[in-house]
């Protein structure tokens, strides 16, 4: 668990690329069913995570997705993509293109920085 508050929680997805997921505690099936407060914090977290992934990992692209076909509840995937990751330019659920990526920046400091930023940002709310 990277972060939690009464509305959402954020966790890391086990993957070769930096991949974070945001969930609502309330199990809404669709984003339109979320409260205004849930929607606002999701968008703010998406923005924070994307910017941090771009600056920390120097990602070539950030993918943000919300499908919910296998898990029919509101959740978002935020993935730092690299031209040399295993699936690029395919989605991470697509056809593997090559052998895996070795990150040039370690994941653990990113997670700790993200925890600090989210906790400080939403402590003042």
Q: What is the mean pLDDT of residues 91-102?
A: 92
Domain covering 3-123 in this structure, CATH number: 3.30.428.10
Averaged pLDDT of the chain:
94
pTM of the model: 0.94
Of residues 69 and 82, more confidence is placed in 82
Taking a C-beta distance cutoff of 8 angstroms, is the pair 42, 48 a contact? Answer: no
- Burial of 103 per CB tally in 10 Å (0-12, 13-18, 19+): middle
Say yes or no to pLDDT of 90 above 70. Answer: yes
Instruction: Dump pLDDT digits (tens) for 41-77.
Output: 999 999 999 999 999 999 999 999 998 777 778 999 9
Where does the pLDDT of residue 125 fall: very low under 50, low under 70, confident under 90, or very high at 90 and above? low
């Amino acid at each position: 668990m990277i972060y939690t508050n009464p509305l959402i929680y954020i966790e890391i997805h086990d993957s070769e690329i930096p991949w974070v997921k945001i969930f609502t505690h309330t199990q809404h099936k669709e984003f339109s069913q979320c409260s205004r407060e849930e929607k606002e914090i999701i968008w703010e977290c998406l923005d924070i995570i994307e910017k941090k992934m771009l600056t920390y990992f120097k990602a070539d692209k950030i993918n943000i997705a919300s499908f919910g076909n296998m898990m029919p509840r509101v959740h978002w995937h935020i993935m730092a993509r690299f031209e040399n990751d295993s699936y690029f330019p395919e989605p991470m659920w697509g056809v593997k293109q090559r052998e895996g990526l070795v990150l040039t920046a370690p994941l653990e400091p990113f997670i700790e920085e993200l925890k600090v930023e989210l906790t400080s940002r939403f402590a003042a709310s």
